[in-house]
Amino acid sequence: MTAVTTARFGTRTGGSRQLAGTGTLLRLALRRDRVMLPVWVFIVAGLVLSMPGALEQSYGTAAERADAMRSMNANSSMRALYSPVFGDSIGALSAWRIGVYAAILAAVMSLIIVIRHTRDEEETGRQEMISAAMVGRRAPLTAALLAAFVANAAAGLLIAGGMAGQGSGGALALGLGVAGTGMLFATMAAIVAQLTESARLAKGLTSGVLGAAYVLKAAGDAGTEGGESVLTWISPLGWVQNLRAFAGERWWVLLLIGGAILAQGALAYDLAGRRGVGMSFLPTRPGPAQGKLATAGALAWRLQRGSVLGWALGFLAAGVVFGGMAEGAADIVGDNRNTRDIIQRMGGQSGLTDAFLSTMVGMLGMTAALYVVASVLRLHAEETSQRAEPVLANAVGRLRWAAGHLVIAFGGALLLMLVGGLGLAVGYGKDLGPILGACLVQVAAIWAIGGLAVLLAGALPRAAVAAWAVAGVCLAIGWIGPALDLPQAAMDLSPYGHLPKLPGGGMEWAPVVVLLTIAAALVAAGLAGLRRRDMIS
Amino acid sequence: MTKAITVSGLHKSFGRTHALDGLDLDVETGEVHGFLGPNGAGKSTTIRVLLGLLRADSGAAQLLGGDPWTDAVELHRRVAYVPGDVTLWRNLSGGEVIDLYGKLRGGLDRARRADLIERYELDPTKKGRTYSKGNRQKVALVAAFASDVDVLILDEPTSGLDPLMEEVFQTCVEEERDRGRTILLSSHILSEVESLCDRVSIIRKGRTVESGSLADLRHLTRTSVTAELAGPPNGLEGLPGVHDIDVSGNRVKLQVETDKLDAVLRSLTDSGVRSLLSTPPTLEELFLRHYQDDDVRNDKADEMVSR
């Protein structure tokens, strides 16, 4: 894949003038991302490389591993969450546990890099100055893809090198799979960046494709044991697992990944050559000459409604798909202590169906943290883009301005959980009440994270993006922590770890009340900070 | 007359950079006040303090008799603001933004809105980024001029406007003055300031260096005189306040401090004047004098104070 990708940059783009300035732009991109890029690379690679040690502690002997493999494969919720297990070596179990997630992280990293250096630059108007210099028409896209390539190659090399102890073939396959998925979404982002004028929308659409790929893979693997479901094969995330690293690698799957990268890259290059700087293939339509917006709240809703709608549809769809898998979750073969332990730690206390539903509710809840952070940080984006300033120069107090966005952030999180719960109940076909109740309990943890984002955006605006790191750590603890048998102290760092396991478990009000109180205190502190400080200019 | 804006001894630092260093500013009610200074002098910082977006470290600022920080919302009902670089939302049309700002300020005059849109030749149906810089500026100008306020704070409002639109802008400002509104106009277009402003304040490095009517300020600077004389000039060099004198035969060119003009003219008439050209100092000269007083080495500090 590596060689093919690099070759394409040189040959398929119609002469060197089209690429003039690529080297300089690539250096600029790497310079601008000198912190973000290494952090991403080390997170992606570090997660993978931490697996063998952790798994050796959980499953020390070959017999334990074989047992774990049998029971995991028999359990549809574990297959859906991770992937089928293709071998009982430490390497194969590592690839099973982390391969898909590492690929998702690489994909997120790649789409951010590519859109940041293409559509973002055009939207802000910076590209005009750059393109007015001796810069070829396709140079910015090339530089962005090369930057993504550098990051993915670094992550892939670290994985291949670090995992080589478990078998060099498998290590190479895993490294290539993760890096390849990254580049696959890099080129997809490159296409989307040509289509829309908004960088935000471009990131949203590409992330939507990534989310759909995950749901497809999960649904496919929940239904079949060997990872051979059509749904799994449609999903690019299914390809990573079906590479079967450390378990009789199927190298030809790399051809699928490489082919998709080439096809998408070619399409993006073609589109990039056909449009002007700042233009797009989905042009902006004229709007009304008279406006109905009358309040800061209405403005906030107008700005965020598209993303609320997109998230809600995603939650509904994911709920329906996961709900439909719940019946099969109880078909567990054998009686394996480890599996039960894992499922218990993931969320279940009684009945495996309940455990499965509880796990899915937890996943929706953790995903909603991403929504709440994104929505709260919209406030921050309005401020830093200078759009808040003229609004606040009107008869609008800072609190009222902030409240507009916060109602959407916190109310939207509630809405997402209700919609997701509805989807689960529809897919499962019963238990609407308990499922909705379980979803509502999650809201306490989501709001606590949202509260932290408000505190950062309000009182420490320079550190506002750290809210993403907090949400990311909570996600990592919740998704990967249970399988790693992390110490309780670590699990306790995430607000989700304190919630009662519902449906199935008993309701505990104390943690819910505590989390809601924390959330309220954080919001209050953030708003107090916002009132007192200077606006960023 | 009461004062619409009073600022005295205002200080504001960003880290180690002193953006405002004891700035004073007085704007009378009903006047158009020019606010001048080189880039990074602290004009926008002052305006942000007046709008309650920044809190001053020390010093006093009053807007319409209120505290710009604590009474921000109430004051903003009576204030309209146009920034020098207007950023719009990509998915909102210009018309929507104008109406939004109007409503957030507590109402706008529909007839005046329609009139202004026509005069500025603005298409209110276009969205966010599809406007050019000048047209984004027009959106903010229409929103400000169509609203019923007492004070207009304009921070380099005409950047990007074409000369025709610049003229429309000047007419608008005069109309506002005729209605008794107070306007604080920060600008680098000196002809604009010269033709619109009753009084000006010139600031440098966060401090007010000059304030008064243009006539007052002119008094402090030099008039250039070119004369053709009947005989050779006599004793001009020795007169106080004379600079850059250049004599060639019976022609003489010189610069004289405006309040020392009298003696020069007397000396010239002694020699017999054939023709005389006397040019009052332009605002530009006034301005350059204040700007150039400074060495390049000190300008490094200024660059840190952006906007």
Per DSSP, A329 falls in state: G
User: Does the residue A449 lie in any domain?
Assistant: yes
pLDDT, position A156: 97
A291 chain-B contacts, CB cut-off 8 A:
92-93, 95-100
B44 chain-A contacts, CB cut-off 8 A:
537
3-state DSSP helix/strand/coil percent for chain A, to nearest 5?
75, 0, 25
- Most trustworthy range by pLDDT among A15-24, A88-97, B230-239: A88-97
Asked if B102 and B70 count as a contact pair (C-beta separation under 8 A), the reply is no
pLDDT, position B303: 45
Record: contact B55-A534, CB cut-off 8 A: yes
pLDDT, position A340: 61
User: Does the residue A289 lie in any domain?
Assistant: no
Q: Are residues A325 and A252 in the same domain?
A: no
Question: Topology of domain B3-217, per CATH?
Answer: Rossmann fold (3.40.50)
CB half-sphere exposure, A296, CA atoms < 13 A: 25
A299 chain-B contacts, CB cut-off 8 A:
100
Residue A387 predicted with pLDDT over 60: yes
Alpha carbon distances (Å) from A170 to A37, A94, A243, A260:
25, 11, 9, 22
User: Does the residue A511 lie in any domain?
Assistant: yes
Nearest to A395 among B54, B85, B106 (CB): B106
pLDDT tier, A345 (very low <50, low <70, confident <90, very high otherwise):
low
User: Does the residue A176 lie in any domain?
Assistant: yes
Rounded mean pLDDT, A479-502: 81
Between CA A234 and CA A212 the distance in angstroms is 11
Does the beta carbon of A276 lie under 8 angstroms from any beta carbon of chain B?
no
Among A244, A279, A314, the domain boundary falls at A279
pLDDT, position A7: 42
Does the beta carbon of A296 lie under 8 angstroms from any beta carbon of chain B?
yes
Looking at the 3D structure of chain A, how many domains does it have? Answer: 2
Nearest to B83 among A302, A389, A534 (CB): A389
C-beta atoms surrounding B65 within 10 Å = 12
Q: Which has more pLDDT, B89 or A177?
A: A177
Maximum Cα–Cα distance across chain A: 72
Between CA B96 and CA A293 the distance in angstroms is 7
Residue A14 predicted with pLDDT over 50: no
DSSP letter for each residue of A197-227: S-HHHHHHHHHHHHHHHHHHHHHHHHH-SSS
Look up residue B5 and give its amino acid. I
Average model confidence (pLDDT) for chain A?
88
Per DSSP, B294 falls in state: S
Among A249, A279, A309, the domain boundary falls at A279
Between CA A48 and CA A55 the distance in angstroms is 11
In our burial notation (b when 16+ CB lie closer than 10 A, e otherwise), range A196-224 reads: bbbbbbbbbbbbebbbbbbbbbbbbbbbe
Residue A333 predicted with pLDDT over 50: no
Between CA B166 and CA B162 the distance in angstroms is 6
Q: How many CB pairs under 8 A join A and B?
A: 125
Residue A124 predicted with pLDDT over 90: no
Structure-token match 């500013």, residue found? B25
Nearest to A286 among B93, B105, B153 (CB): B93
Asked if B142 and B113 count as a contact pair (C-beta separation under 8 A), the reply is yes
* Structural class in CATH, domain B222-280: alpha beta
Phi, psi dihedral angles at B125 (to 5 degrees): -95, -10
Record: contact B76-A396, CB cut-off 8 A: yes
Alpha carbon distances (Å) from A72 to A77, A82, A502:
9, 10, 22
In our burial notation (b when 16+ CB lie closer than 10 A, e otherwise), range B230-252 reads: eeebeebeebeebeebeeeeeeb
The percentage of chain A sitting over the pLDDT mark of 70, rounded to a whole number, equals 92
Tokens of A332: 């567990």
pLDDT, position A484: 66
Per the document, the length of chain B is 307
Beta B151-155 vs B3-14: how paired, if at all?
A: unpaired
pLDDT, position A69: 86
Domain spans, chain B: 3-217, 222-280
Domain that includes residue A439, residue range: 294-537
Q: At A292, is the secondary structure helix, strand, or coil?
A: coil
DSSP letter for each residue of A88-127: -SHHHHHHHHHHHHHHHHHHHHHHHHHHHHTHHHHHHTHH
Most B CBs within 10 Å, among A394, A400, A531, to test the B interface: A394
Residue A72 predicted with pLDDT over 50: yes
Structure-token match 């995903």, residue found? A367
In our burial notation (b when 16+ CB lie closer than 10 A, e otherwise), range B139-153 reads: bbbbbbbbbbbbbbb
Nearest to B54 among A306, A393, A534 (CB): A534
* Interval B289-300: pLDDT, tens: 777 665 443 444
Note the ipTM here.
Answer: 0.72
User: Does the residue A286 lie in any domain?
Assistant: no
Among A229, A247, A279, the domain boundary falls at A279
Q: Are residues A129 and A238 in the same domain?
A: yes
Å between A505 CA and nearest CA of chain B: 46
Identify the weakest region by mean pLDDT among A177-186, A514-523, B158-167.
B158-167
* Interval B217-266: pLDDT, tens: 776 677 888 999 888 887 888 888 888 888 888 899 888 887 888 888 88
Tokens of A244: 């079967």
B128 chain-A contacts, CB cut-off 8 A:
284
Nearest to A385 among B87, B97, B101 (CB): B87
Rounded mean pLDDT, A25-32: 92
Tokens of B122: 């603005």
Record: contact A289-B125, CB cut-off 8 A: yes
Query: Cα–chain-centroid distance for residue A412?
Result: 18
Asked if B129 and B92 count as a contact pair (C-beta separation under 8 A), the reply is no
Query: Beta strands of B32-84 (E only): which ranges?
Result: 32-36, 58-63, 79-82
Most A CBs within 10 Å, among B48, B98, B100, B118, to test the A interface: B100
Phi-psi region of A442 (alpha: psi -120 to 50; beta: other; left: phi over 0): alpha
pLDDT tier, A60 (very low <50, low <70, confident <90, very high otherwise):
confident
Q: At A136, is the secondary structure helix, strand, or coil?
A: coil
B129 chain-A contacts, CB cut-off 8 A:
123, 197, 278, 284
pLDDT tier, A369 (very low <50, low <70, confident <90, very high otherwise):
very high
